[in-house]
């Protein structure tokens, strides 16, 4: 009977720097609103008064796309592209106009610089499989419980 090959990597193989790393920055935006009126009011789900308040818009499958898929800074921070921020700002103003005729509402965009850095590192090899081996006892096989 032949010996099984050794699949264990040499001890100095891990951790190992990954194939990619990088850094960058994006300019992203948020939308703020305030009401130039002495009494706070609930407007489109936001309590507004004389102070600037950041508006939060829910993500929806249909509507204004808030960021591109690869804008990780936007995904992680909740900020959005300039175009999305402008569109949502005007949508908010249109909703207010529909509800109450304006109510002395002001909006503004706030520009944010988002810096990011990433890298990958191989930390270990997991569950190698050789030719002809069955590992169904380790991982579930489709259709078996």
116 in a structural domain = yes
11 in a structural domain = no
Tokens of 122: 């191989």
Consecutive 10-residue averages of pLDDT for the chain (145 residues): 57 68 86 88 86 86 64 71 91 84 85 86 73 59 52
Whole-number pLDDT of residue 57 = 84
103 in a structural domain = yes
Domain count, the chain: 1
- The residue range of the domain holding 105 is 20-122
Taking CA atoms, 113 is separated from 7, 82, 107, in Å, by: 46, 12, 20
Q: Which residues are 7's β-sheet partners?
A: none
140 in a structural domain = no
Whole-number pLDDT of residue 38 = 81
131 in a structural domain = no
Taking CA atoms, 103 is separated from 31, 36, 41, 96, 114, in Å, by: 18, 8, 9, 8, 33
59 in a structural domain = yes
CB of 125 closer than 8 Å to CB of 136: no
76 in a structural domain = yes
**What is the per-residue DSSP string for the chain?**
-PPPPP-PPPGGGSSEEEEEEEEEEEEEEEEEEEE-SSS-EEETTEEE-SS-EEE-----SSS---S-TT-HHHHHH--B-HHHHHHHHHHHHHHHHHHHTTTTEEEEEEEEEEEEEEEEEE--------TT---TTTSPPTT--
Q: Which of 57, 61, 62, 112 is closest to 89 using CA atoms?
A: 57
pTM of the model: 0.65
142 in a structural domain = no
Tally the residues of the chain: 145
């Amino acid at each position: 009977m032949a010996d099984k090959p050794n699949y264990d990597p040499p001890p100095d193989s891990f951790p190992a720097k990954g194939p990619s790393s990088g850094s960058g920055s994006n300019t992203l935006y948020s939308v703020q609103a305030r009401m130039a009126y002495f009494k706070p009011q609930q407007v489109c789900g936001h309590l507004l008064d004389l102070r600037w308040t950041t508006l939060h818009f829910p993500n929806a499958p249909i509507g204004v796309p808030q960021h591109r898929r690869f804008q990780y800074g936007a995904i992680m921070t909740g900020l959005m592209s300039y175009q999305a921020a402008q569109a949502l700002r005007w949508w908010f103003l249109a909703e207010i106009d529909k509800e109450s005729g304006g109510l002395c509402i002001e909006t503004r965009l706030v520009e944010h610089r988002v810096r990011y850095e990433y890298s990958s590192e191989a930390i270990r090899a997991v569950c190698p499989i050789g030719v002809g081996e069955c590992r169904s006892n380790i991982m579930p096989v489709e259709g078996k419980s």
